[in-house]
Amino acid sequence: MFHKPVIIGIAGGSASGKTSIARKIRESFGDGKAEIIRMDDYYNDQSAMTMEERLKVNYDHPFAFDVDLLIDHLKQLIGGHPVDVPVYSFVDYNRTAETRRVEPTDVIILEGLFVLEEPRIREFLDIKAFVDTDADIRFIRRLVRDVKKRGRTLDSVVSQWTETVRVTHNSFIEPSKRYADIIIPEGSHNTVAIDLLNTKIRSIIEENKEEIPMTKRLFDETVAELEYLRREALPAILDELREARRKGDLSENPGYDAAKAKQLQLYNRIEELEDILKNGMVEIEK
């Protein structure tokens, strides 16, 4: 029997301390109980690009990441299947030929710049955390890290910070703070916040053990129906509502009333399916 993993999303600015917090959480659960997935490893594959072309890419923008692959891997892990996570090289600005096998486990810690900014990722998160560290501290940390560990020059780090990192942080990362369940100042030095996270994670794990079993087939069918309703059925109904509104007075508009009734029915079904996935426990079929 496989229990649905607890998925924690840890977002925050560059060099805010996301990785350190993720490691502390993993360490508190011991080997084999928690795994870390870094969004950084899901940078787009750039094998077809020259190094000169790779250097021009804005790596601090959401478009730089292969979110579809990341979401597919989250689905696989939730379904009890291992995944082969890409390994990214910050020296070559591309994925390496190697991959890292991640097995299904009790806790999945997903950390990265845009973990809370991307709505499709947020749907998978049981706990959403944002690491809030002052910009001057983050800049100093990034400067030291990129020069010592990634072979960057001082000028290149400063230029990247002023031209892309700061702009993207203000446009995408900082606003995603509003989605957080918990905001962690001071990064990994905030032991109280980390202890609170660990306590909540253990609580969810215990709740999951009491969940209703569901087969892998039922899980896949539920996910497929939910995706269909969100991507096709709901937009179609919204189109019906817009068309009905164009026909005039809504107080005497049977087309609008019928569309609203279908919309309500659809929302109820989506909520029902979300509850099934949230409270279900996948049973791996032999």
> What pLDDT shows up at residue 81?
87
> What pLDDT shows up at residue 205?
81
The answer to whether the predicted template modeling score (pTM) of the entire model surpasses 0.75 is no
Distance CA 280, CA 11 (A): 27
Render 33-102 in DSSP notation, one character per residue. Answer: TEEEEEGGGGBPP-TTS-HHHHHTS-TTSGGGB-HHHHHHHHHHHHTT--EEEEEEETTTTEEEEEEEEE
- Mean pLDDT over each residue of the chain, to the nearest integer: 87
Question: What domains are there in the chain, each with its CATH number?
Answer: 6-209 (3.40.50.300), 214-283 (1.10.287.180)
CA 185, chain centre distance (Å): 20
Q: Is the pLDDT of residue 279 over 70?
A: no
Q: Is the pLDDT of residue 219 over 90?
A: no
Regarding predicted confidence, which is higher, 59 or 268? 59
Half-sphere exposure (Cβ direction) of 132: Cα atoms closer than 13 Å:
15
H or E element that contains 213:
strand 212-215
Helix axes 254-279, 234-245, angle to 10 degrees: 160
> What pLDDT shows up at residue 34?
93
* 52-61 residue pLDDT tens: 999 899 998 9
20 is written with which tokens? Answer: 């350190």
% of the chain beyond a pLDDT of 70: 90
Between 70-74, 231-235, 279-283, the lowest mean confidence (pLDDT) is in 279-283
H or E element that contains 6:
strand 6-12
Beta carbons of 134 and 124 less than 8 angstroms apart: no
DSSP structure class, residue 16: S
Q: Fill in the amino acid letter for 192.
A: V
- pLDDT level of residue 18 (50, 70, 90 thresholds): very high
Beta carbons of 89 and 96 less than 8 angstroms apart: yes
Helix (H, G, I), strand (E, B) or coil at 280: strand
Between 36-40, 71-75, 280-284, the lowest mean confidence (pLDDT) is in 280-284
268 is written with which tokens? Answer: 């109820």
% of the chain beyond a pLDDT of 90: 50
Distance CA 220, CA 216 (A): 6
Helix (H, G, I), strand (E, B) or coil at 244: helix
* 103-153 residue pLDDT tens: 989 899 999 999 999 999 999 999 999 999 898 989 998 899 989 888 888
Distance CA 94, CA 41 (A): 9
